[in-house]
Structure 1
Amino acid sequence: MEGRIIDVNGKKLYIEYSNSFKNKPTIVFLHDSLGCTQLWRDFPEKLSEATQCNILVYDRLGYGKSSPMPTYERDNDYMETEADLLNDLLDELEIKEMILFGHSDGGTIALISASKYPEKTKAVICEAGHIFVEDVTVKGVSDAFEAYKTTSLPERLQKYHGDKVDMMVKAWTEIWLSDRFRSWNIESMLKNSKAPLLFIQGENDEYGTLNQVEKTISQVSGSAEKFIIPNVGHTPHKEVPEVVLGKSAEFINRIVNSQ
């Protein structure tokens, strides 16, 4: 897929969009707190092939090849703001029907998007998302920040994000490690999510417990199932890509072909 920059409300976002399958939904990939389009590698294309669905992969503002963030400061509802920007991006591309695949922060944004824009959402795959803050999440972010300060992680991230890395890491760590964010919770929104949901999580996820999964699938209005993978951490689609690919394709095909 060829990438391009698109202007959405004055924000320049890097996207890769393939819409060769007519009358099929678009799988929208939402990356994690340190991720970007490039870091999905060939996973989106493989899922597209397995489902015959279109795909949209993009870098959120401040990540990858998109424009920098104006500031590292984030409000508690920053992921809701991202869901609204995604909706505007979909309007710009005239995408009427989406299947969301989000990882970590992207998984949370997927849940929020499905809750705020149910008319556009055909299905949701949430991988290692969060709906509230846990002690293990705070510890995970703190450990990652320590690694950023003491290892070659900055250089590795610069390969994908260029000179935006410091701002990106500061934006992520400051909000998640702040006292004010401990009260963040999106459970009240979940009842508005009506699309079928698949929640994927590694049993050894270092950023969240299975409470995130159980409380999510019990509160959405649509059908919901969980897929817990043993001996896997926070990034199942990288740790066991074929397992996640197979389960995701089966889930999507069941929904798309049941129409």
Structure 2
Amino acid sequence: MQDLNPTGTLHIGASDLEYRMIGSAPADAPTLVMLHEGLGSAALWGDFPDRLAAATGCGVFVYSRAGYGASSPVTLPRRLDYMHVEALEVLPALLDAIGFRRGLLLGHSDGASIAAIYAGGVQDHRVQGVVMIAPHFIVEDISVASIAEIKAAYETTDLKSKLQRWHGDVDNAFYGWNSAWLDPKFRDWDIREYLAYIRVPVAILQGADDRYGTIRQIEIAREECYCPVDVTIMAGAGHSPHREAAGATLEAIVEFANAVLQGDEGARGRAA
């Protein structure tokens, strides 16, 4: 276990991963571990982790996966099973390194899929619930179409310059994600098998106007999971409800976290 400063770098495997820790350390209190989207980073969560920490009383740990933010770049092209690698190899080592003892995984998009693979594939008793924002369990036509559109935008508009604010090597971040999803072989990517092995409560938050996935993802979770699945459809939100409907998203996550982690004084919610 490494000593955690409010910000720093963890050496996990062959990579240096930037992180930010808000509130109590994982060894001292329940912790929400946040897993960002396919073009995200620790910083791109904005102040949402701080608001979560204030509203739940939990510690909140955010980090940038390799290839994102200020973390080490990755070799391109990425392996098409990169989310499995993150869930089954990197995340277990990271949780051990930070002294994680009890809490929730909270993932967005790719991060939600990684959280699902971990929860179903590792059976870690320390993880007591999983929050998935806009998760993917299979590849849908709408996902591929929107990812192809964003590739065109990256190469023809100011999107690249906007993303440079969040990534040290923006091409590494973008193409590592985009090229994997657009590879024809990726259409066979399917993580439904992991859902049946999740043994903790799950909360799914989906924007009503999500252009990267449909309600089919939620139907799959309900079909495959034996654990409780709490679903919230966020009106007026797209693929990033924590940005587009931040207040309602925060409220839903806090309610879930408090219900799952009740009994631990450090996890009891305070009025936001």
Global fold match (TM > 0.5): yes
**Greater RCO, 1 or 2 (C-alpha within 8 Å, sep 6+):** 2
Is the Cα contact below 8 Å between 1:19 and 1:26 reproduced in 2?
A: no
Structure 2 distance, partners of 1:178, 1:198, is 30
In 2: Cα distance, 1:144 partner to 1:98 partner: 34
Rounded to whole Å, the distance in 2 between the matches of 1:124 and 1:97 is 12
SS in 1 for 2:219: helix
State, as a whole percentage, how many aligned pairs show the same letter. 36
Q: Which runs of 5+ in 2 are unaligned?
A: 265-272
RMSD: 1.5
1:80-229 alignment runs, 5 A limit: 80-83=84-87, 84-118=89-123, 119-162=125-168, 164-229=169-234
Are 1:199 and 1:217, in contact at CA under 8 Å, matched by a contact in 2?
no
After superposition, the C-alpha distances for 1:85-125 in whole angstroms (9 at most, x for unaligned) are: 01101111121223011111011111111112332311111
Structure 1 residue 229: Cα displacement: 1.4
Q: Return 5+ residue gaps in structure 1 as ranges.
A: none
* Contact 1:217/1:226 (8 A) holds in 2: no
Q: Which amino acid in 2 is paired with 1:17?
A: M
Greater helix share, 1 or 2?
Answer: 1
Q: Which amino acid aligns with 1:10?
A: A
Displacement after TM superposition at 1:11 (Å):
1.3
- The answer to whether the 8 A contact 2:35-2:62 is kept is yes
TM value normalised by structure 2? 0.90
- Residue in structure 1 matched with residue 78 of structure 2 by the alignment: 74
Q: Distance in 1 between matches of 2:117 and 2:105?
A: 11
Distance 1:110 1:218 in 2: 18
Secondary structure of 1:218 counterpart: helix
CA distance in 2, matches of 1:11, 1:97: 25
Alpha-carbon separation, structure 1, partners of 2:78 and 2:101: 29
Q: Name the CA distance, whole Å, in 1 between partners of 2:177 and 2:14.
A: 23
1:133 and 1:183 in contact (8 A); partners too? yes
* 1:37 alignment partner, one of 42, 47, 71: 42
Contact 2:113 2:136 (C-alpha < 8 Å) held by counterparts: yes
Opposite residue 126 of structure 1, the aligned amino acid is M
TM-score (norm 1): 0.95
SS at match of 1:24: coil
Query: Aligned pair count?
Result: 257
Matching residue of 1:55: 60
Counterpart-to-counterpart distance in 1, 2:69 and 2:40 = 8
2:7 paired residue number: 3
Q: Deviations over 1:169-217 (max 9, x none)?
A: 1111111111101111000111111110000001110000000011113
Counterparts of 2:262 and 2:196, CA distance in 1: 25
Q: Is 2:34 aligned against 1:12?
A: no
1:258 offset after TM fit, Å?
4.9
Do 1:31 and 1:105's aligned partners in 2 also have CA atoms closer than 8 Å?
Answer: yes
* Distance (whole Å) between structure 2 residues aligned to residue 171 and residue 114 of structure 1: 24
In the TM superposition, residue 23 of structure 1 has moved relative to its aligned partner by 5.2
Query: Where does residue 51 of structure 2 map in the other structure?
Result: 46
1:2-39 residue CA offsets vs partner (Å, 9 max, x unmatched):
31011112310001124527753210111111111111
Q: What is the deviation of 1:257?
A: 1.0
CA distance in 1, matches of 2:223, 2:30: 26
Q: Is the 8 A contact 1:114 1:193 kept in 2?
A: yes
1:215 and 1:169 mapped to 2: Cα distance?
A: 28
SS in 2 for 1:159: coil
- 8 Å CA contact retained: 1:17, 1:55: yes
